[in-house]
Amino acid sequence: MEYNLIVNENKYNAQVLNFEENHIILDIDGKKYDFFADRLSLNQIQISLNEGNSTTSITTYISKETENKSIQINGQLYKIQDEDIIAKQGSKKKSQNDLPDNITPPMPAVVVTTCVKPGDIVEKGQKVIVLSAMKMETTLVAPFAGEVISVNASSGDKVAPGDILVEIQKENSSCTD
């Protein structure tokens, strides 16, 4: 199977070379990826990527939307869309602005530490909060550059998906009259 994917506005050609149970081999723009994927829960997958003589293990969190999926890997959010499905539906091209504006936990967790405070200026990808769930730490990062408006959690707080942990005002979202 071949897919034309859009990942955060970047286009990739992906071809499934092998798919047996949980063993998958993909060719993405000429680079092969050999990995095993094990479902841990409804929205959580453990990926073991074979890289020559070593294996890298990554836990991902996936949320399915209508024509795309949002996948969080090591605190970084990736919005993945199938370009062919978008073309069939006549949808407008999604932009980086369509990523979530709020920082929320991908699963029930406990706050380990907050790395920002109100008034801080953050860059896209900057660490803002660290969570612990199922004996694993997850770092959530700023989805865009801007100013921290509020931090709604502190160390030791129990949080759940949908809780807004940190609110950031986008750098370029000022109003003009």
Q: What is the pLDDT of residues 67-110, one digit of tens each?
A: 567 888 777 778 888 877 766 665 444 444 444 567 888 888 99
Last residue of a domain, one of 40, 71, 97: 97
- Contacts of residue 79, Cβ cutoff 8 Å, sequence gap at least 6: 7, 8, 68, 69, 70, 94, 98, 99
Residue 85: its H or E element: helix 83-89
Q: Note whether 22 and 104 are same-domain residues.
A: no
CA triple 66-172-120, angle to 5 deg: 100
Per residue in 107-165, pLDDT (tens digit) is 889 999 999 999 999 999 999 999 998 888 999 999 899 999 999 999 999 988 888 89
Q: Note whether 17 and 89 are same-domain residues.
A: yes
Last residue of a domain, one of 45, 68, 97: 97
* Nearest-angstrom CA–CA distance, 69 and 113: 28
* Nearest-angstrom CA–CA distance, 76 and 81: 16
Residue 14 belongs to some domain of the structure: yes
Residue ranges making up the domain that contains 144: 100-170
